[in-house]
Amino acid sequence: MAFPSDLDIARSAALKPIEDVANGMGLSSRSLQAYGDDVCKVRLEALDDLADRPRGKYVVVSAITPTPLGEGKTTTTVGLGQAFAHIGRKASIAIRQPSMGPTFGIKGGAAGGGYSQVVPMELLNLHLTGDSHAVTAAHNLLSATIDNHLFQGNDLDLDPHQITWRRVLDVNDRALRNVIVGLGSRADGVPRQTGFDITAASEVMAVLGLTTSLPDLRARLGRIVVGYTRGGDPVTAEQLQAAGSMAVIMREAIKPNLMQTLENTPVLVHAGPFGNIATGNSSVIADSIGLRCSEFHVTEAGFGADMGAERFFNIKCRTSGEAPDAAVVVATVRALKAHSGNYKIVAGKELSPELLAENPDDVALGAENLRKQIDNIRMHGIPAVVAINAFPTDHPSEHQVIQKIAAEMGAKSAVCTNFADGGRGATELAEAVAEACEEPSKFQLLYPDAATLREKIETVATRVYGADGVDYTSAAERQLDTYERAGFSNLPVCIAKTHLSISSDAALKGAPTGWRLPVREVRASAGAGFVYPLCGAMRTMPGLGSKPAAARIDLDENSEIVGLS
Amino acid sequence: MAFPSDLDIARSAALKPIEDVANGMGLSSRSLQAYGDDVCKVRLEALDDLADRPRGKYVVVSAITPTPLGEGKTTTTVGLGQAFAHIGRKASIAIRQPSMGPTFGIKGGAAGGGYSQVVPMELLNLHLTGDSHAVTAAHNLLSATIDNHLFQGNDLDLDPHQITWRRVLDVNDRALRNVIVGLGSRADGVPRQTGFDITAASEVMAVLGLTTSLPDLRARLGRIVVGYTRGGDPVTAEQLQAAGSMAVIMREAIKPNLMQTLENTPVLVHAGPFGNIATGNSSVIADSIGLRCSEFHVTEAGFGADMGAERFFNIKCRTSGEAPDAAVVVATVRALKAHSGNYKIVAGKELSPELLAENPDDVALGAENLRKQIDNIRMHGIPAVVAINAFPTDHPSEHQVIQKIAAEMGAKSAVCTNFADGGRGATELAEAVAEACEEPSKFQLLYPDAATLREKIETVATRVYGADGVDYTSAAERQLDTYERAGFSNLPVCIAKTHLSISSDAALKGAPTGWRLPVREVRASAGAGFVYPLCGAMRTMPGLGSKPAAARIDLDENSEIVGLS
C-alpha cells in the first residue's frame, strides 16, 4: 500500500476544538479570539496573565546546509513537538506563517509532512487570519504616502532616486519586480521607477517578527526609513505621518495564531519574514507565549544554522532577551552526500539512483558541513542535538556515520522517523533534547551592540561562515558610513547570502574555507531593527513557472479544495 | 452639550454577543463561524436550513440624487432596520463592506452615523474578516497568470495591447493608476503598460456581490474575460487555468459577515462593488439569508435611485430571482435645495448660511429630482416611500414641502430623526414601509434578457435617466458588436455615469431633459454577468489628499484607535 499523501493524512486528522488545545496549554478562554473553526488568535493580555509562570526550555530547530529540496526542518520541528507528549512532557511549537504567493507557484509543503503536520493545512497555506494581508496593507499605505508626498510638493525634500521603500504583494509575479509608476496625466502622480517585493520580504513583516507589544510595534513602524533626502538624511514613516495608521492596520496581526499538529500539540503560527534579507524566524511574541505555556517550547529557524539559527541568536534573542537552552541540527543522508561534492540535486527532479545507493563514505565526506553547523550552534554557548531525518531510502550504515560524527563532536543524536510515525518516531530525539536542556545554559551573543557594523559583519563572516575576511564594494562602504552616521550602528546585522552554502557561493559545498565574503550593498531595516548587507543578488519577488500549481488547484464537485500540497 | 461624535457613540454601545444576535434571527450556532469578538461569518449551509422558512418583505433603500456629501442613506438604512423593533416587527439589514483604502484618504463614515450605526465601526472600516483582501489576492493571481502567460510563450495568442485585466489594491494610490510592468532583464517578464484599480472596482468583487453558491462563484470566475486574442476572441480566466485557484482563495469570502447595529439589529455586511462600473449593492447571498430570517429585510443600494436601485432591480434581482416589495427614497432638504440650481455644495467645505436659511420655495424648485426618482422606482412595479433624513438645521416648512410632493406622487413619506434618536426616530418610516409592503408586489424588470445590448442601454437611458437618446463613439459601437458576437448580449447593462446627476453631466441638477447619453466605451464583466457602458471618465483608483486621514489615525497610549471616523 502506498504511503498516503500529506493532504490525505491532514484530511483524516482528528482535530481537537482549538479552545481545548489552548486550555490544555494553560491559556484561558478569555485569552482567545476565535477565527473560523480551527484557529484562534491569542490576545496580548495573555502575556501579562502568564508573566508569573515558570519559563519552559527554549529549543530552536536548525539544520545543516540544505539542498534545494529542503531537509524536513518543519517536519522535524512538528515531530519533536509531538514527541514530548510520548515521553510525558508538555511542549508547544512555533513556526512562521507560510507565504501565500508560492502556494500557487511551486509546491509549498510549509505545514510539515507525513504524520508530522500542522493542520488544517489549507488554512495555514492560504489566508490564515489575514496577518500577511495586514502587512501588505500597512506596507502599501506607506508606499502610497511616499508617492503622495512627492505629488503634494515634497516638503521633506525626499530624493526620488533614493527612495528604498517599494510596494509588496503576496503573489509570485515577476512582472512587478521593476515597474514605473505615476504615469498618465499630472493628476496621476510623479513618474518614477520602483518595484514590488513579495509580502514576506516587507520590513513590516520583519517588524511583526521582532516586536514585543503594540506600543513597541508603533515605535518600530515609525522608525522605518523609506529613503533619503537630497542631503542624505534618512526619512522615516514617522515623518511621513503614516506609522500611526500602519499600526492601526496591524492591530490584529500582532496577536499570534494558535493551531495544532496532527497529534493536537499546540502550534503558534506567527509572522513569516524572509530568511535571507530578514530573520527567517517566527515572532518574539509567539515564543514568549509558548515559553510560558509548556515545559519545552520548540521554535523553528529558517535554512541552515549559519542563517536562521545565527539570526535567532543574535537578532531574535537579542531583541527578546530570552536565552535558548538547546538547538537541534536537522541532518539528512541525502544532503550530507550532496555536501561531498559528488552529487547534484535539482529542485523538481528525481534523485539519482547513485545518490540513493548505500554509500556511508560519501556521507562522511560531506560531514564537514554538519561539524561546522554544530560549531555554529555551540559558539553561542548552547548544546546541539543532531536529528537525523530518516528517509525510507536511507541505509543504517549511513545513519551510523552521522551518529558517529555527532558523538565525536560531543553532540547527542537521534534517528527520527516522525514523518512516517508521528511523534513516536521522534521520542529518542525528545529524550536527547530534554537531556541537553538540563545542562546549564551559557548562552552568549556573538557580538555586543556596541561593536561597529563592520565588526559585526566580520565577526559573523569569519566565525560563522568561515570566511577569511570581508570585501566591501565602494557603495557598501558609503552605505555603512551613512548608517553609522544615522545612528544605526547599535543594530545587529542580518547578512543576506545564499542559503545553499555556508559561504556566499551556492556552488561551494561542505564547509568552505579560503574565501572572502563580498558585500555588494548594505541596507537598513531600521524599524525592524537590523542592518542587512547583501552578498549577491537576492530575489525578493518570485515568478510563476511554466506549470504553476495555480493551474492544478481548484474546488471539486463538493467544493473541497484539490491540488493544494 | 455638544452631540457626541460617531466614534464616542459607537464606543459606548452595548453590543450583544454576536451569537445571540444570530440566534435571535433564527440562525443556529452551527451556521456560524466566529471571527474575532463582534463579527461572525454565516455558513452557506444556512441557505439550505432556511429554505423552508417564509420569506420576509424585501425593502431596498435608495435616494434622490445626492450631493457630494451624501444624504445619509446608510444612516437611514440602519435607522429603518432598528425602527422595526420599535413597532414590534422583526428586521435584518444588509450593507456593503466599505473599502479600506478611503478610510485612510478622506473620512469614510460607511457605518451610518449618530445613533444609527453598525458596530464596531473599526472592524467594519478596516479588515473585517478579510473578504476584500481575498478579492485582492484572487484578482492579482489572475494578473500574475496573464503576465506569466506572455512570459512563457503566449500559447493563447493574447494581444498585449488588448489586455483589459489590471491589478488591484485596497489603497488610495494615484501613482498606481498607470504603470509599466515587466521592466528589468529578460527574466523579469514582458514590458507592457497597465495599471491598478482599487479593490472595490475588481470584477471579482462584482462576482462576489452576484454569486449564489460556491459552484456558481467558480463558474463566474472562469467566465471572466481578461483580454482578447490578436484575432479578437475573448480570453478567459478559465483558459488561463486561474479560475480554480481564484475560487479557492475566495472560499471563505463567499460567506456573509454578521454584525449588529447600536440597537442590536442584525446586519449582514458582504461585498463592496463600485457603484458606477459595478452594481453598488451588497451580495445576493446576504439578501437571500436576511430575507428568510426576518419579517423585513432592508438592503441598501448605492447612490441615487437612477444608479443603485436601477442596478438592484435589473441586475441583482434579475440574478437572484427575488422580487422586492418596496423601496425607500431618502431625501434631504439640503440636497433638494441644491437641485434647485441656486446653491453649490462642495465636499469638505461648510454649508453656506444661505443654504441653511429657511427656504421652502427652493426645496420645491429642486423637487423634480425627487419626483423622477420616485418614478424610477415605480416603473419597476413597486411602491416608493420617501424618508426625509432630518437635520437640526432643517425647518418644518421645508419638510412639509417634501411631504406634500410625495403625497402628490401618491407616495407615503416620513420625517426621520434616527441620526439623533436611533430606531425610535424612524418608526413612522417603518410603519409606512410596512404598509407599502402590504400592497401586492408587481415587480417587473425594465427589459428582458433577450433585448439587444443597445436596446437595454437605450431603455435605461430614456426611461430612467430621461435622456432623449444614446450616442455611441465608434469605439463603443465596435465593442458592442464584439460583445454581441461573443455571446454577451443576454447580459444586463450597468451604465457607468456620474452619480451627482440623473444625467451623465454632474453639473445638471433636478431631472434634466433634452440631452443625449454619450457612450464613450463599453466593457464587459462577463464573469460578474453584466456589460458596462462608460459615459465619461470613471476614476477607479482614488488618490490621497494633501491632508489624508492617515496622518490623524493612530493608536493612543492605551493602544486604542484614534482619528478613525
pLDDT digits (tens, 9 = 90+) for A304-335: 999 999 999 999 999 999 999 999 999 999 99
Contact A183 B178 (CB under 8 A): yes
Q: How far does the CA of residue A509 sit from the closest CA of chain B (Å)? A: 27
Total structural domains within chain B: 3
Here the cell at position B292 is 428568510
CB A256 within 8 A of CB A42: yes
Confidence of residue B2 (pLDDT cuts 50, 70, 90): confident
CB A119 within 8 A of CB A37: no
Q: What local confidence, expressed as pLDDT, does residue A346 receive?
A: 85
Q: Of B385, B411, B438, which residue sits at a domain end?
A: B438
A37 and A111 inside one domain: yes
- Please tell me if residue B15 touches chain A, with a CB cutoff of 8 Å: no
A263 and A389 inside one domain: yes
Partners of A100 on chain B (C-beta within 8 Å) are 137
A36 and A184 inside one domain: no
Q: What local confidence, expressed as pLDDT, does residue A109 receive?
A: 63
Length of chain A counted residue by residue: 565
B269 and B396 inside one domain: yes
Name the percent of chain A lying above pLDDT 90: 90
B94 and B216 inside one domain: no
- Please tell me if residue B106 touches chain A, with a CB cutoff of 8 Å: no
Here the cell at position B549 is 486621514
Q: What are the start-end ranges of the H helices in B190-283? A: 203-210, 214-223, 243-249
| Residue A540 lies inside a defined structural domain of this protein | no
pLDDT at B89 over 60: yes
Partners of A183 on chain B (C-beta within 8 Å) are 177-180, 193
| Residue A561 lies inside a defined structural domain of this protein | no
Indicate the helix (H) or strand (E) that contains A62. strand A57-63
Q: Find where cell 502506498 sits.
A: A2
| Residue B58 lies inside a defined structural domain of this protein | yes
| Residue A541 lies inside a defined structural domain of this protein | no
Q: Of A245, A275, A299, which residue sits at a domain end?
A: A245
Here the cell at position B425 is 426616530
CA distance linking residue B533 with residue B539, whole number of Å: 14
The CATH number given to whatever domain includes residue A267 is 3.40.50.300
pLDDT digits (tens, 9 = 90+) for A25-54: 999 999 999 998 899 999 999 999 999 999
Distance linking the first and last C-alpha atoms of chain A: 20
Question: Is B72 a known ligand-binding residue?
Answer: yes
Most confident of A428-432, A536-540, B342-346: A428-432
A225 and A173 inside one domain: yes
Q: How far is CA B154 from the centre of its chain?
A: 37
Q: What local confidence, expressed as pLDDT, does residue B109 receive?
A: 63
CB B203 within 8 A of CB B138: no
Contact A554 B244 (CB under 8 A): yes
Nearest to B244 by CA among A279, A158, A563: A563
- Please tell me if residue A245 touches chain B, with a CB cutoff of 8 Å: yes
CA distance linking residue A457 with residue A517, whole number of Å: 9
- Please tell me if residue A173 touches chain B, with a CB cutoff of 8 Å: yes
Q: How far is CA B391 from the centre of its chain?
A: 24
Confidence of residue A12 (pLDDT cuts 50, 70, 90): confident
- Please tell me if residue A344 touches chain B, with a CB cutoff of 8 Å: no
B422 and B301 inside one domain: yes
Interface test with B, best of A31, A553, A560 (most B CBs within 10 A): A553
Contact B550 A241 (CB under 8 A): yes
Residues 6+ apart with CB under 8 A from A44: A213, A214, A254, A255, A285
Q: Find where cell 548594505 sits.
A: A522
pLDDT at A544 over 80: yes
Confidence of residue B111 (pLDDT cuts 50, 70, 90): confident
Tell me which residue in A127, A215, A548 faces B148 most closely, judged by beta carbons.
A548
| Residue B290 lies inside a defined structural domain of this protein | yes
Distance linking the first and last C-alpha atoms of chain B: 20
Q: How far does the CA of residue A387 sit from the closest CA of chain B (Å)? A: 36
- Kindly report whether the peptide bond that precedes residue A120 is cis, defined as omega within 30 degrees of 0: yes
pLDDT at B107 over 70: no
Contact A104 B141 (CB under 8 A): yes
Q: Of B231, B247, B263, which residue sits at a domain end?
A: B247
B14 and B107 inside one domain: yes
Partners of B215 on chain A (C-beta within 8 Å) are 555, 557, 559
State the average pLDDT for chain B: 95
Confidence of residue B36 (pLDDT cuts 50, 70, 90): confident
Partners of A190 on chain B (C-beta within 8 Å) are 175
**Mean pLDDT on B535-543:** 92
| Residue A560 lies inside a defined structural domain of this protein | no
Confidence of residue A107 (pLDDT cuts 50, 70, 90): low
State the average pLDDT for chain A: 95
CA distance linking residue A265 with residue A276, whole number of Å: 29
CA distance linking residue B326 with residue B414, whole number of Å: 15
- CB burial of B223-233 (b: ≥16 within 10 Å; e: otherwise) equals bbbbbbeeeeb
The CATH number given to whatever domain includes residue A178 is 3.30.1510.10
Residues 6+ apart with CB under 8 A from B118: B74, B78, B93, B95, B111, B112, B124, B259, B260, B261, B267, B269
Q: How far does the CA of residue B317 sit from the closest CA of chain A (Å)? A: 25
pLDDT at B1 over 70: no
A92 and A231 inside one domain: no
CB A222 within 8 A of CB A527: yes
| CA–CA–CA angle A255, A257, A263 (5° rounding) | 155
**Residue of chain B whose Cα is closest to the Cα of A154:** B546
Contact A144 B563 (CB under 8 A): no
| Residue B338 lies inside a defined structural domain of this protein | yes
Confidence of residue B565 (pLDDT cuts 50, 70, 90): confident
Indicate the helix (H) or strand (E) that contains A76. helix A73-86
Domain carrying residue B464: 453-534
Q: From the CA atom positions of chain A, what is the Rg in Å?
A: 23
| Residue B348 lies inside a defined structural domain of this protein | yes
pLDDT at B385 over 60: yes
Q: How far does the CA of residue A173 sit from the closest CA of chain B (Å)? A: 5
Interface test with A, best of B169, B552, B560 (most A CBs within 10 A): B169
**Residue of chain B whose Cα is closest to the Cα of A187:** B174
B57 and B124 inside one domain: yes
pLDDT at A348 over 80: no
B297 and B415 inside one domain: yes
A257 and A332 inside one domain: yes
Q: What local confidence, expressed as pLDDT, does residue B401 receive?
A: 97
**Mean pLDDT on A525-539:** 94
Contact A126 B548 (CB under 8 A): no
Q: How far does the CA of residue A298 sit from the closest CA of chain B (Å)? A: 27
User: Got the DSSP string for B96-138?
Assistant: PPPPSGGGGSS---BTEETTEEEE-HHHHHTTTTSHHHHHHHH
Contact A251 B555 (CB under 8 A): yes
Tell me which residue in A126, A141, A178 faces B171 most closely, judged by beta carbons.
A141
CB B257 within 8 A of CB B129: yes
